[in-house]
Amino acid sequence: METITLGGGCFWCIEAVFAKLNGVESAVSGYCGGALPSPTYSQVCSGTTGHAEVVQVLFNPDIISLREILEVFFLLHDPTTLNRQGADTGTQYRSAIFYHTAAQKEISLDVIAKSNAAGVWKDKIVTEVTPLGTFYPAEDYHQAYYELNPNQGYCQAVIAPKMIKLQKLFSEKLNKAYTRSQ
């Protein structure tokens, strides 16, 4: 098993998608990258703690590789916008990869360099690639948020389209069964 910690805007959005990927054992919403020990959601949302909303992804690399995890990650958010994803603004919504090993750092930098060279995005990727500090799991009510609150307004407007995009991508483009059966 391998673990990577990713920030790409609201953690509800990232967690919902990664929880559905075949080979992902768990996706835990939390906070990383700041100085305040044991931050709360309201503290992180203030933008003063330095933490990002992240999802810690535990996956089986024999089923899904880190490159495939990162491919999904970069499709879920706009990695070219600094400290912003849609209407969510602030450093807590920054695009970030918190790597756990030197190999993860190298793969992450390679994926970014190749994406930039290929012109995948109109602008250059600004995703921060940083060693993992302390990961703090978010409060219980943030875990599996989309699964437990699918009819909530934010879930319908922001997360549901990402879930549809995931299913479309894997059924049409990749021709590989990444998603878990329902």
By C-alpha distance, which of 42, 46, 65, 56 is closest to 11? 56
Residue 9 DSSP class: S
List 10, 13, 32, 155, catalytic entry: 10
Alpha helices in the chain (DSSP H): 11-18, 41-45, 66-76, 102-118, 145-148, 153-154, 160-168
- At 56, which amino acid appears? Q
Would you list the DSSP string of 18-44? HTTBTTEEEEEEEEES-SSSS--HHHH
- The one-letter amino acid code at 128 reads E
Is residue 10 among the annotated active site residues?
A: yes
Q: Which residues contact 2 (CB under 8 A, 6 or more apart)?
A: 58, 59, 60, 61, 66, 100, 104
- What are the counts of helices (DSSP H) followed by strands (DSSP E) for the chain? 7, 8
Catalytic residues: 10
